[in-house]
């Protein structure tokens, strides 16, 4: 199972770099990808953070049980 997450993480980082070099996307759904989130929030949040600079370096996660499926886990692991 751990290998699948590593592969997904590498794919997500490649997609994130592509998005960063292309600038604005035709629609927010173009940025969606899921590693730990249910509905593509990992990519959407990453994209929004690339567009908005100087944000606080903290976040709050609501409604998570064991943190295996969470919208902020990719942020924590990818962006520290």
* pLDDT tens digits along 53-80: 888 888 888 888 888 888 888 888 877 7
pTM: 0.70
Q: Return the number of other C-beta atoms located less than 10 Å from residue 42's C-beta.
A: 29
* pLDDT tens digits along 16-55: 777 777 766 777 788 888 888 888 888 888 888 877 888 8
What does the domain layout of the chain look like in residue ranges?
A: 2-79
Rounded-to-integer distance, Cα 57 and Cα 79, Å: 10
pLDDT at residue number 64: 80
Position 1 pLDDT exceeds 60: no
């Amino acid at each position: 199972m751990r290998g699948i997450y590593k592969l997904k993480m590498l794919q997500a980082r490649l997609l994130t770099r592509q998005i960063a070099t292309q600038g604005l996307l035709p629609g927010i759904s173009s940025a969606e990808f899921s590693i730990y989130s249910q509905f593509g929030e990992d990519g959407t949040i990453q994209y929004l953070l690339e567009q908005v600079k100087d944000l606080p370096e903290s976040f709050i996660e609501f409604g998570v049980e064991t943190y295996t499926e969470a919208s902020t886990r990719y942020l924590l692991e990818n962006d520290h």
